[in-house]
């Protein structure tokens, strides 16, 4: 009854649990999206590279990680690789699980990032690249100074979308035992039977993460427009 009068009060009944969970979700989101951007960029460069084997690797990566469920991927990254004895260079089970989940976030969303960035790269006028090369810039220099800066500017909105999707998808990490926001909701629910409140609080906490992320993307988009 107290919950109906004061929604969100359950947050203050289990403050430590929810705050720790929020911490895990933020860490997963930050490291995961950083990793996704890095992996995605590298794979995109593979896909536009003049060397065929690199292009094949790029295609295989994107098709594999984009076409299989993230849930299956993180289970494989934890227990599948675990069966081969791989523990992500740590002896602590919970650290192993966290690293497996983070890697899953980075790989899965990296595939989407790769496609967005590849789109940006091939969207650049051919004349620019030819001009850069005739000015004496190497292939790498052309990428670094001509193609990539323009690509990142043009792809801020779709990359922002992927980032926000990643924040929400971190909830899948709870299925392999990461004590994130979703798991906190489930634990509190089973202790109190106050389902609506427990999940309501977690919805609010996800919004606390995703709404500022969306605003940040909008701001970045505008700033990039000015720079252009």
Partner 1 sequence: MRRILGKVIALGAAMAVLAAACGGGAQPQASASAAATATAATKPKFELATYMYSIQTKGKIRVGTREDNVPFGLKNPTTGKYEGFDIDIVREFTKAIFGKDADADPDKFIEFVPVVSATRIPTLNDNKADIVAATFTINDERLKQIDFSTVYFRTGQKILVKKTTTNINAVADLNGKTVCTAKGSTSEQNITKQAKDAKLLLLDTYPPCLLALQQGQADAVSTDETILFGLVKQDPTTKIVGGYFSDEPYGIGVNKGREGFVPFLNSVIAAMVADGRWAAIYKKYITPVSGDVKDGPHDKGRPAS
Which positions lie near partner 1, rule CB under 8 A? 75, 79, 82-83, 87, 93-94, 96-97, 174-177, 179, 183, 186-187, 189-191, 193
Beta strands per DSSP E along 50-187: none
Work out how close the CB of 194 gets to partner 1 at its nearest, in angstroms, rounded to a whole number.
13
DSSP secondary structure letter of residue 92: -
User: Which lies closer to partner 1 via its Cβ, residue 97 or residue 202?
Assistant: 97
Work out how close the CB of 14 gets to partner 1 at its nearest, in angstroms, rounded to a whole number.
12
Burial 152-181 (b: 16+ CB within 10 A, else e): bbbbbebbbebbbebbebbbbbbebbbbbb
Work out how close the CB of 120 gets to partner 1 at its nearest, in angstroms, rounded to a whole number.
39
Residues sharing a CB contact under 8 Å with residue 223, sequence separation 6 or more, in sequence order:
none
User: Which lies closer to partner 1 via its Cβ, residue 141 or residue 190?
Assistant: 190
**Whole-number Cα distances in Å, 90 to 94, 104, 166:** 9, 17, 25
Work out how close the CB of 176 gets to partner 1 at its nearest, in angstroms, rounded to a whole number.
7
Among residues 116, 83, 89, which one has the least CA distance to residue 103?
89
* Contact between 207 and 227 (Cβ < 8 Å): no
- Residue 190 CA to residue 172 CA, distance in Å, equals 19
- Residue 228 CA to residue 223 CA, distance in Å, equals 9
Work out how close the CB of 15 gets to partner 1 at its nearest, in angstroms, rounded to a whole number.
17
User: Which lies closer to partner 1 via its Cβ, residue 191 or residue 222?
Assistant: 191
User: Which lies closer to partner 1 via its Cβ, residue 142 or residue 174?
Assistant: 174
Work out how close the CB of 104 gets to partner 1 at its nearest, in angstroms, rounded to a whole number.
15
User: Which lies closer to partner 1 via its Cβ, residue 55 or residue 87?
Assistant: 87
- Residue 142 CA to residue 127 CA, distance in Å, equals 12
User: Which lies closer to partner 1 via its Cβ, residue 13 or residue 221?
Assistant: 13
- Residue 197 CA to residue 7 CA, distance in Å, equals 7
């Amino acid at each position: 009854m107290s919950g109906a009068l004061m929604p969100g009060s359950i947050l203050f009944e289990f403050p430590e649990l929810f705050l720790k969970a929020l911490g895990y979700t933020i860490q997963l989101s930050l490291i995961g999206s950083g990793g996704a951007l890095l992996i995605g960029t590298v794979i995109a460069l593979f896909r536009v590279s003049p060397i065929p084997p690199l292009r094949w690797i790029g295609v295989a990566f994107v098709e594999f990680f984009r076409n299989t469920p993230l849930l299956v991927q993180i289970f494989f990254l934890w227990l599948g690789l675990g069966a081969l004895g791989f523990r992500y260079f740590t002896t602590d089970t919970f650290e192993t699980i966290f690293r497996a989940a983070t890697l899953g976030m980075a790989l899965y969303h990296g595939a989407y990032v790769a496609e967005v960035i590849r789109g940006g790269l091939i969207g650049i006028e051919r004349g620019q690249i030819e001009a850069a090369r005739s000015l004496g810039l190497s292939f790498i220099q052309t990428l670094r100074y001509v193609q990539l800066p323009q690509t990142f500017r043009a792809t801020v909105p779709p990359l922002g979308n992927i980032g926000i999707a990643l924040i929400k998808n971190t909830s899948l990490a709870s299925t392999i035992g990461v004590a994130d926001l979703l798991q906190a909701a489930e634990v509190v629910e089973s202790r109190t039977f106050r389902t609506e409140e427990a999940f309501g609080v977690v919805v609010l906490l996800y919004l606390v993460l995703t709404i500022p992320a969306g605003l940040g993307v909008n701001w970045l988009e505008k700033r990039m427009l000015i720079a252009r």
